[in-house]
Amino acid sequence: MKNILPLLAIAGLSFMTACQSEHKTAAKNDTIPSISDSTATNTQCFLYAKNRDTATLKISIADNKVNGDLAYNLFEKDKNKGKIVGIVKGDTLISDYTFQSEGTTSVRQVVLLKKGDQLIEGFGDIEEVDGKTRFKNMSKLKFENSIVFAKTDCK
């Protein structure tokens, strides 16, 4: 658990830095397609791979609700994998990520911004509320210099 807190803090800080300018741009641009344009179930897969870091995401979207599997394998960090459950608001996916790392179950908020065929993870200042790590202010999330998931074929 001690190893997860610094990672979450770094991820949160990066997320906050990235979110603010990109989120404002996305909110003003009506041409960005929403994640789910229909009420039918829509399964999509995404991959992040950079240097020795990888992350995979498989989501299903129906009626503006999202659920799926998320896994991080970041170099020299503890691997973690788990489930995401959340909602879709326009071009933004807001979810809780319940994951296992070093035998401990944790929950943290994950926010992803859709840009074309990519989902960009947002980071920002975090706090713990009722045993879950949450963003203090969603409007200040940062999306630059972040984990960028590229759409890929589902396996």
Burial class (CB in 10 A: 0-12, 13-18, 19+), 118: middle
Can you give the pLDDT of all 155 residues of the chain as single tens digits?
444 434 334 444 343 334 433 443 343 333 334 454 444 568 999 999 999 999 999 999 999 999 999 999 999 888 999 999 999 999 999 999 999 988 899 999 999 999 999 999 999 999 999 999 999 999 999 999 899 999 999 98
CA 71: distance to chain centroid?
11
Say if residues 121 and 112 touch (Cβ distance below 8 Å): yes
pLDDT in the model for residue 88: 95
Q: Sketch out the chain's domains with CATH numbers.
A: 4-152 (2.40.160)
Phi-psi sector, 140: left (phi>0), alpha (psi -120 to 50), beta: alpha
If DSSP codes are grouped into helix, strand and coil, which group holds residue 30? Answer: coil
The pTM of the full predicted model, rounded to 2 decimals, is: 0.73
Within 8 A by CB and 6+ apart from 79, the residues are 71, 72, 73, 101
pLDDT in the model for residue 46: 98
